[in-house]
Every structure is written in structure tokens, then in C-alpha cells.
A and B are shown apart, each in its own frame.
Chain A
């Protein structure tokens, strides 16, 4: 619906100052003719007029310019003083062009000469419309001022630097905190000046982000270093949103800078910690892993991959089963699953396959990490290679068994010596003497063997040791090369030499001061080398073959021959005993 521009709104209240009743009627008739629903008030002079202004019950004032008691200019001045918002129109018979212009300058809305009174309704209607427009404009201006005030209040109080750009990318607003932060006056930052406060290395990137945002009319986000009034630069994050007019035109961006230096420092710190953890995890000797609350393994250290030659994608979750030994994997899975459920610390020992396909043994442990509520958050596990420890344990056990075996064998030998000595000695005194001396030889031979870590003994050392306890050393002549005997032969030869010397002292060459014993030995170079040991007595009493063989003779014939895998030849020559022993040398 369109309203004719000249129409006066119904109910309009008109105040008319006029000293001529005729003119007043004329005007009333004219206006009511176009709009019957008017409230028309006619006043004749100053006092009525001013009283009416006080009542504030009118929408427009009409006034004659020439009233004898009250000039038109005075009436206008009163109206402006009391009702500055009301339109004021002069209606006059004698209004020259100059006066008319002057009156408008003074603030009148319009004027109409009485000779052309038919214009009046249109003038009144226009004056009222203009007034309405002015009121609307004013309230819009007030609203805008209030909105801007709110915006500034917000912009000046948020803990961020607020900025705005126009559609041409120039900066049109910087909050006061900008100059506090950067040390650059906000005024200097407007336009392109603010870019000077961005770190040179970050500036191009920042501009690029803004440019994109302007082109696409989208929000923006980027991190950049911003100059700091204190010193240097601080890291900030800037976020921006596009601004649009009521009709959807792009107006530019509004955004903020927020100081994230602290956050960056925490992030750097965190990254450093992560680095430290990684290098610790990769440098410990163990294979290490982490699983979530359900036992799904999501991380292994580098050693795990180095040892197994696998990748995370193969191993994650329960993929680790493929490096377990088929004979152990079911048992391991069953046990660890139970622990993942119960939260109990887990420990197990099993072999894991290395990248070369060989298995090594690992002692594995895992314990769960719980949150404050006691819920399992994750599992931390390690696998320690104990292959060498197990091997050392095995060797130790082997050694203990071997030692036990050796002790038992020695005891058996001692028992045999005791038993055999008993068989040949009738008195306890004789038994005691013989037994003790034989045990002593056995014992000192053990000492020699122990020195060589039970590898054997040199024949010369055995000869010297066996003869030392019997007769004068000047009565012995020893002659032989270095000749290594294995432990068993060493013991047997020692015991034999002891018996020969005992017999020589008692019955043979050494029973006389002029007697001599020559002990000589050698080895041959056959493929299975043998050694030859000869015991020759001379200068003693005449010798004959004894009637019955004693322990010594039996020992040498029976036991020694067996232990050296050889032969013994006893010759009872008149000048003295000549005993020749041949034995096999163990391969060295």
C-alpha cells in the first residue's frame, strides 16, 4: 500500500498561531478538507501560544510571520527552546524571499505564502514525514553509538589484542592492549603499520593467511611471533572471523591475538620430555612395551624391533604372538590375559625369536598404571634377555655336578686305598702308617692337579714330589724331558712311585747309604705316543723276587697298568730292581 506523500496522517495535532480569525478559518478549512481527522488548535497571541507549547500536545506548529504583539521570529525561538523536535512552518501574507530564506536559516522547517495557501497541506505532510525520518535516524544513531560502545568495552577488556580489517585488508581497529603489548601506538598500526610488529620470519605467512581469508570470506587461524614491548617477540595465536553487513556484503575480518608463549614453552617442554623418554626407552638394555587397559600393545621401544626384526604394524595389539615359540605361546597368552584382567603384576619366562630366526630367553615383567580412581590406565612391560644368565646357571650346575662326581670318585679311591691297605697289613700301627702316607701322596697330587685346573701334571714334578719323603735327594738321579700326564695317569703314577720308593727304603737300594735310584723317562713320536718310565736301583743289598706280592706290586701291575693303558715290567736283577713302565699319552 502506498501513501500519497502529501497526505497528513490522521489524528495529527496542529497548533496554529494567527491573529486573523479569517485566515485561521481559511487554513483550518483547507487542512480539514484534506484530512478530516485532525486536531486543530488556533491561538491568537503570545500567552496562549506559549501556554500551548508547554502542554506538549502537538505534532506540528504553524505560525503567521507578522503578529503585531509577537514577532514570528520570537515565536520560532520559543518553539526551538521548548519543543526543538517539532516541525515549524511559517504561513504569512507578506513574506519576501529574503525573509523566507532567513527564517529557514533560523530553524523553520518551511514556509507558505498566503497567496499560495493550497500548498499548505503538502508542506505540512512533508514536514511531518521529515520529522519522522529524523526521529528514526536519530534512534538508529543512538543504537549504533551504544553498539559501538559495547564493542569497545568488550574489545578493551578481553585478555587478547583485538583487531579489525576492512575489505581492502587494511587494519581499521586495534584495541588499546595492542600498544601496551607491542609498544606500537595503535594509531601507527592502522592501515598496514601493524604488520611491522609481526616477526619478519612470520610476516609473509600471516599476510598470506589474511589474504586467503579475505578472498574466501572465511575465518582464519595462525601462529606467529609478535613484537613485545618488554623485549624481543612472543608467540601468539591469531584467530579471525569474517564480518558481513546486514545485506551480506563482506566487510573485512575481526580477530584477536592471544599470547601463547607459555603454552609453546609447555609444548616444547613436553616434546623434550617425550624425546628424553624415547631415548631412555630405546637405550635401556631391555625390550620394552606399553599396552592399554585391555592389554592391547600400542608401543614398543626400538630394541624390540631391532631384536625381532619386526614393525609396529605387525606387532601391535596381540601381533607379538608371532615372535613367540610355538611350544610356549599358548601358555604365555593364557597367563598374561589373566593378569590383564586382574591387574596383578605379571612375570614370566619364555623364548622370543630374534631377527636371525634363533630364540633367546627373556624374563618378562609388567605392571599396570592406575588413575586416581584406581582404574587401570595402561600396562608397562619389559623383557630382559637372560639367555646368558641361564647358560651361566647351567654351567654352574654342570660344574657343581662335576665337582660332586670328582669328590665321590676321590672318596671311592680313598676307600679302595683303605680297603687294600687293610688287606695287606695285619697290625693297626702298620695300617695307619701306610694308609696315611698313601693318602698324603694322593692329596699332594691333587694339589698339583688343582694348580693346572685339573688339566694334568708334569712328570718331573710328580717324580720329585713322590721321592721327597723318602731317603736323601743325593741318592736319586732323575733324567727326563717335559712330559705332560692326564689327571688319572698322574694320580696312578704318583701312587706307584710312592710304593716303589717305600719299598726301596725298606728293602732295596735306599736301605744302604751307598745305594742309588735312577729315574728316567721319555716319550716317543709314534702316532699314538707312549711314554716310558724306568726305575733302576743299584748299590743296595742283593735282590730276589718276593715270595708274595704286596700292595705296591699289585697296585703297579694291576691298577697302574689299567690307568695308563699300558704295561709294567718288573725285573729283579741282582744289582737291584729294574721296573719299566710304558703308558699311553692322552692326546693333547
Chain B
């Protein structure tokens, strides 16, 4: 199995349990270390501020919340990340139009390509 992401610490913010679980498995298969998988702001925000993170995947819509606050924190820490969403760019706040987006449903190849582009690997 391709271990392209070996040693890379990834944070996942995704409110759908099944999707989060599968995403964790996929990334782990590629060698990544999941530093945290969170369903909402309450848990994700403190982690985004304090954890050592190389990369993050943020579901835009978290039930009644959105993940922009987490994106804000990551941007200030210069941690690269992508949004995951069923919507295209037009569903993003104007401020985040330049952030890469992983359109749901995505597969491993799409994910690896996006992460590779962001981390330059």
C-alpha cells in the first residue's frame, strides 16, 4: 500500500461519523497519523490551536455550525488545509474562495492529489 503520507500529522473535522471513520482509515492506509478527528467546533477548535498539525481536512458544514473559525486558526498558524463539502466553491464564504475544496464524495486518489499539492510532496 502506498505510504505517501508517512509521518504526516493530519486533523479531520467531519460531523458524519461513518464518513469520518472511513476517512481516518483511508489516511491511515497512506501512512498518515491522525492527530484528531472531530465532529464539531467545541472539540476541534482547541485542538486546532494547540495540536501539532501538518495538514487538515475540514468539512464546511458541521450540523448547525461551520468550520470557518477552525480555518481561521489554521491560517494564522500557517497550517495547510482543504475544505470538504458537497457544495462547490460557490458554497464557500467569499473570503475562502481560494482555498482548495474536496468535493464529496471523494476517493483516495483525489485526496492524495490535493494533499500532495498543498504540502509539495
Chain A residues near B (Cβ < 8 Å): 401, 404-409, 411-417, 419-420, 423, 488, 492, 495, 554-555, 558-563, 565
Contact = CB atoms under 8 A, between A and B. Distances in A.
A552 to B, nearest CB: 12
A560 B21 CA distance: 10
A419 B86 contact: no
Contacts of A411: 104-105
Contact of B17 (A406, A423, A558): A558
A414 B22 CA distance: 11
Nearest to A419: B22
Interface residues of B, number: 23
Interface in B33-71: 39, 61, 63
Contact of A409 (B23, B104, B106): B104
A553 to B, nearest CB: 12
Given A409-B104, A562-B39, A416 B86 contact: no
A412 B25 contact: no
6 contacts: A409-B104, A411-B104, A412-B19, A419-B26, A561-B17, A565-B39
B87 A559 contact: no
Contacts of A404: 86-87
A416 B22 contact: yes
Interface in B91-111: 91, 103-107
Contact of A559 (B20, B91, B103): B20
B18 interface: yes
B104 A401 contact: no
B16 interface: yes
Contacts of A554: 21
A488 B16 contact: yes
A520 B36 CA distance: 34
Contacts of B85: 405
Contacts of A407: 86
B104 A412 contact: yes
B104 A416 contact: no
Contacts of B91: 401, 405
A192 to B, nearest CB: 93
Given A404-B87, A409-B86, A559-B17, A419 B25 contact: yes
B104 A488 contact: no
**A contact patch SS:** helix
- Interface SS majority for chain B: mixed
User: Which residue, of A407, A415, A492, has the highest number of chain B Cβ atoms within 10 A?
Assistant: A415
Contacts of B87: 401, 404-405, 408
Given A409-B104, A413-B19, 10 more contacts: A408-B103, A409-B16, A409-B86, A412-B86, A412-B104, A420-B21, A488-B16, A492-B18, A559-B18, A563-B16
A438 to B, nearest CB: 10
B24 to A, nearest CB: 8
Contacts of A408: 86-87, 103-105
A406 B21 contact: no
B17 A420 contact: no
Nearest to A492: B17
Contact of B86 (A406, A415, A565): A406
Contact of A560 (B17, B26, B103, B107): B17
Contacts of B104: 408-409, 411-412
B86 to A, nearest CB: 3
A412 B19 CA distance: 7
B25 A423 contact: yes
Contacts of B106: 412
A488 B19 CA distance: 12
Given A407-B86, A412-B19, A416-B19, A488 B103 contact: no
Contacts of A492: 17-18
B92 to A, nearest CB: 12
A414 B104 CA distance: 11
B22 A420 contact: yes
Contacts of B15: 488, 562
Interface string B6-31: 00000000011111111101100000
Contacts of A565: 39
Interface in B71-121: 85-87, 91, 103-107
- Max chain B C-beta neighbours (<10 A), residue from A412, A417, A423: A412
Nearest to A565: B39
Contacts of A495: 18
Contacts of A558: 17, 21
Nearest to B22: A416
B16 A415 contact: no
A563 B17 CA distance: 6
A411 to B, nearest CB: 5
A560 B103 CA distance: 24
Contacts of B105: 408, 411-412, 414-415
B17 A415 contact: no
A559 B107 contact: no
Nearest to B29: A423
A290 to B, nearest CB: 42
Contact of B20 (A401, A417, A562): A562
A423 B24 CA distance: 13
A402 B36 CA distance: 28
A562 B20 CA distance: 9
Contact of A413 (B16, B61, B107): B16
Specify which of B15, B63, B105 lies most central, judged by the most chain A CB atoms within 10 Å of its CB.
Answer: B105
Contact of B25 (A405, A420, A488): A420
Contacts of B61: 405
